[in-house]
Structure formats: C-alpha cells, structure tokens
Amino acid sequence: MAFAELFKATGEAKHKAIAIGTFRNIQARSANPKGQYNKLYPNSRPMKSFYGWYYPHESGLKRTIDETTIGYVNRCSQKAKALTPKALTLIAPYGTKDIIPDDDFVRQLKRLDIDIMAYQDEVGVWKTKAGAAWLSS
C-alpha cells in the first residue's frame, strides 16, 4: 500500500485513487489470489513438485564425503522413511570441482541412503570461512 502512504505525504488525489483501486483488487482476488497462475487452476499446465525430504546440511565436498555427513544423512533418511515411506530424499552438496571420482568416492555414494544428489555447480559463488564477516568494508 505504498500509494496510500504516498497520498498521506502528498495529498494528491491520483495517489489516493491508485491506493483504493489496489485495495479493492486485493479484496476481489482474496479467494484465488494467484488466478490463472494457481497450479490448481483449471486448464493450467500440470506442475509436478518435489515430494520428499531435503536435508539442509549442505556439506562441502573436499575430494570425498566426510563421515559426519554420511552419518547425518543416513540418520535423517531413516527417520524420514519411518514418517513418510514414499517420499524421496535429497541432498545438495557443493564443491563438485574438488571431487576425485575414484572408487573410494563411489563407495561413499553407495553408503548414502538418499534418492537424489543435486550437486551445486558453484557458478558465481563467493565463499567465506565460517565466522568470517559476510559484508566487506
């Protein structure tokens, strides 16, 4: 409702008209705010979404997968399968440029109790070390 605030500041009738029109439009759409973009809207394209568990422990890959990550992911998967047996599991590690795709790495992958591994490409990523300030001066 920026135009309502603008009307308060300027007193211009056109800002008041826009604010009232916007408010009425919001009220009119309250039953179906997304309109034709609602995924449940008739004749809209079917949208499949991910049904499952995404584990937010996005461990970095330093040539291999560390044991802590394997244990964490497998414990999460065990709990997830108990709660929702049909749901998929997904992790998204970063550091793919550092992976050494040898037999050891393949064995680690096989030990992970997950359905999907969505590697992050790290394009355009600026990394800092834990505890470092994220804003530069």
Spatial strand order of the sheet with 116-117 comes to: 52-54, 88-91, 116-117
Per-position b or e across 19-33, b if 16+ CB within 10 A of its CB: beeeeeeeeeeeeee
Q: pLDDT-derived band of residue 137, with 50, 70 and 90 as boundaries? A: very low
Compute the mean pLDDT over every residue in the chain, rounded to the nearest whole number: 79
Per-position b or e across 37-67, b if 16+ CB within 10 A of its CB: eeeeeeeeeeeeeeeebebeeebebeebbee
Among 36-45, 54-63, 105-114, 123-132, the range with the most confident prediction by mean pLDDT is 105-114
Q: Which residue has the tokens 């550092």?
A: 98
What is the model's pTM? 0.54
Q: Which pLDDT does position 75 carry in this prediction?
A: 93
Q: Which pLDDT does position 47 carry in this prediction?
A: 58
The pLDDT tens digits of the residues spanning 52-96 come to 888 875 666 777 788 888 898 899 999 999 999 989 999 888 777
Residue 89 neighbours by CB distance under 10 Å: 21
The pLDDT tens digits of the residues spanning 92-118 come to 887 777 788 889 888 988 999 999 888
Q: pLDDT-derived band of residue 1, with 50, 70 and 90 as boundaries? A: low
As a whole number of angstroms, the distance between CA 28 and CA 112 comes to: 50
Contact in structure between 80 and 53 (CB atoms under 8 Å): yes
As a whole number of angstroms, the distance between CA 18 and CA 1 comes to: 9
Q: Give the residue from 73, 84, 82, 59 showing the smallest Cα distance to 116.
A: 73
Between CA 6 and CA 15, with CA 11 as vertex, the angle to 5 degrees is: 50
Average pLDDT value for residue range 4-28: 89
Q: Which pLDDT does position 82 carry in this prediction?
A: 94
